[in-house]
Chains A and B, each alone.
Chain A
Amino acid sequence: NAGVTQTPKFQVLKTGQSMTLQCAQDMNHEYMSWYRQDPGMGLRLIHYSVGAGITDQGEVPNGYNVSRSTTEDFPLRLLSAAPSQTSVYFCASGNRASTDTQYFGPGTRLTVL
């Protein structure tokens, strides 16, 4: 198993550009989520999904869109990048949010100029 994979590892954008951060898992997990991590602020939940076709907002959803058309993939879209979105983005998956281990991807480091 590859586990949770994220692409790209690094990305530099200009303000106003859009892009999609990819996340895939091969463990047949129902639950997937996206977090951003900024210095001193820990992980903040952006969006999450409890299964294919179901998504919901987390703590900081503004400026981001998600969709879950398959169990395996959970892409995160930045609609119009802003410098405030400069961060490290982590995707995670688990069988359930509650009692199961959440597996994290290696992260995507995004810089918006």
Chain B
Amino acid sequence: SQKIEQNSEALNIQEGKTATLTCNYTNYSPAYLQWYRQDPGRGPVFLLLIRENEKEKRKERLKVTFDTTLKQSLFHITASQPADSATYLCALYYSSASKIIFGSGTRLSIRP
């Protein structure tokens, strides 16, 4: 079965630095890869989507890369702020089954 791995440990970053989160997957490459943000006690909120034929996508301070050879996506937050502290989840969409599978998430803390 498909396996998705994210940084298992929490990530602690100094404010103003770039935070980089990793999402690795096994077996088949997905058609699309999505990143979500989740705050405690709330449902995930969609951030970005990248297609398998795209190398990079940007949205304001966020950047996502997708390397189907390495089977990896990187999620970057530049000029990080304490308000960016949250859990970030990657999710993979498999067109053959029309379903979205999530990783376990990485908890990010930005200290002032």
Contacts and interface: CB of A to CB of B under 8 A. Distances in A.
15 contacts: A4-B43, A31-B98, A40-B104, A42-B4, A42-B6, A43-B89, A44-B102, A48-B99, A59-B1, A59-B101, A97-B98, A97-B99, A99-B51, A101-B46, A102-B34
Interface residues of A, number: 27
Interface string B68-112: 000000000000000000000101010101111111110000000
A95 B27 CA distance: 27
Interface string A38-68: 0011111100101000001011000000000
B49 interface: yes
Given A42-B102, A43-B89, A43-B102, A104 B44 contact: yes
Interface in B13-33: 31-32
A59 B92 CA distance: 13
B46 A98 contact: no
A99 to B, nearest CB: 6
Task: Give the dominant DSSP class at B's interface.
Answer: strand
A105 B103 CA distance: 19
A74 interface: no
Given A35-B102, A45-B101, A48-B99, 8 more contacts: A31-B98, A33-B99, A33-B100, A43-B102, A45-B100, A48-B100, A99-B49, A102-B46
